[in-house]
Every structure is written in C-alpha cells, then in structure tokens.
Amino acid sequence: MPRPNDSPNELPDFRVVLRNAQGKYVASDAHGVFFTEDRHAAIVLSYRAERVPEQIEAIRNNHGFTLTADPVPLEEIYETCDRCKDFFMPFMTFFDGKRFLCADCRKPDPTRSARA
C-alpha cells in the first residue's frame, strides 16, 4: 500500500525502472551503472521521491539520450494478503505456513468458537 500524501489531491508515489530507446533497463553493480535487458536487474526508483522526471531531463541534457520511466507492477513490490487480497509491504505480512496474511486478517475471529 502506497505511503499517504501530505496533500489530499496528490497521487501516491510509485516505483519505476528506467528504460532507454533500445528497450534496455538502467542497472548498477559494484562496477557502476550499465544497461541490461533483464528488467528484474534494473534499479527501482521512487518516481516522485527521487525526482525521476528531473533526473531524466538532466540525463537528456547532459548525455543526449532519453530514458523512459516504466511503472513496476504492484504485485512485484507488494505482498498480497491471501484473505482480503489487499497489497502490503512484505514486512507487514505474516506467513502461517500456507498463506500470507495482513495484521487484520491474522487476528483470531471472535465469532468462531475456540477449539478445545
């Protein structure tokens, strides 16, 4: 679930990867920044928090090529509660051996009778 905003009309921040005109993604390792065809190896950025539009513009002005920001699908970032189907940060879910549950769905149901 995205972080709440200070302004009620403001859209939530979202994660993106950067792609060049040839369809390769920006990645990095101990040797520096490079392009890769593997989207899962790409650097994931917070679109607004990391000022992605400004960075894309600076790269275009300084290096002469354009990058595109592609949103990362929510199911690749967040865990889905198997009961309520809402999205949560992975640290907010609990795996009971069979299912991933959010804190609310993990609570015992008071309407069920306790097992002996």
- The candidate with the shortest Cα–Cα distance to 72, out of 99, 47, 51, 90, is 47
Domain definitions of the chain by residue range: 15-73, 78-106
pTM: 0.64
How many Å apart are CA 59 and CA 34, to the nearest integer?
14
Per-residue pLDDT of the chain (116 residues; tens, 9 = 90+): 445 555 555 667 889 999 999 999 999 999 999 999 999 999 999 999 999 999 999 999 999 999 999 999 877 878 889 999 998 888 889 998 899 999 999 887 666 555 54
How many Å apart are CA 46 and CA 25, to the nearest integer?
15
